[in-house]
Every structure is written in structure tokens, then in C-alpha cells.
Amino acid sequence: MAEIKYDIIEKIGILSESNKGWFKELNLISWNNREAKYDLRDWAPENEKMGKGITLTKDELRQLRDLLNNMDL
């Protein structure tokens, strides 16, 4: 089985906690020792297990921020 190495460079913040105790987090993560990317993902407590998520570039975060600021949230 292949192995994924990752290193959480910066924990930026938590969006929510599920009733199973998982957190939806925005982090800056380096995957397989490559350049770090922003990452929006579900995590078990202490980042012990990871769920599904997506990676985002700084440009994408900037676009996302602008979209969110134009929404009626």
C-alpha cells in the first residue's frame, strides 16, 4: 500500500465540529515534501485520521474570499 507523507505547516482554523468529533479545518500542508498548499479537509481529533478534502492555491483562496464576501451569509 502506498504511503502519503504530509506535514501540517500551519493550522489556520476550524470551520466546524461534527457530532462524531471530526473537525473541518483549513490548514497549510506539505504533501510528500512538496511545496505547501492550502487544504480544506475533515480530520479526526488530533489530526489522527484524515477524511476527504481539497487543496487550494493562494490564488484560489483569494477568489473564494471574494466570492464569500459577495454572498449574503
- Site residues for its own copies per CB under 8 A: 12-16, 24, 26, 40-42, 52-54, 56-65, 67-69, 71, 73
Closest separation between CB of residue 41 and its own copies, Å? 8
Shorter beta-carbon distance to its own copies: residue 34 or 65? 65
Closest separation between CB of residue 3 and its own copies, Å? 20
Q: Is 69 helix (H, G, I), strand (E, B) or coil?
A: helix
CA distances from 4 to 15, 50, 54, 68 (A): 24, 11, 15, 32
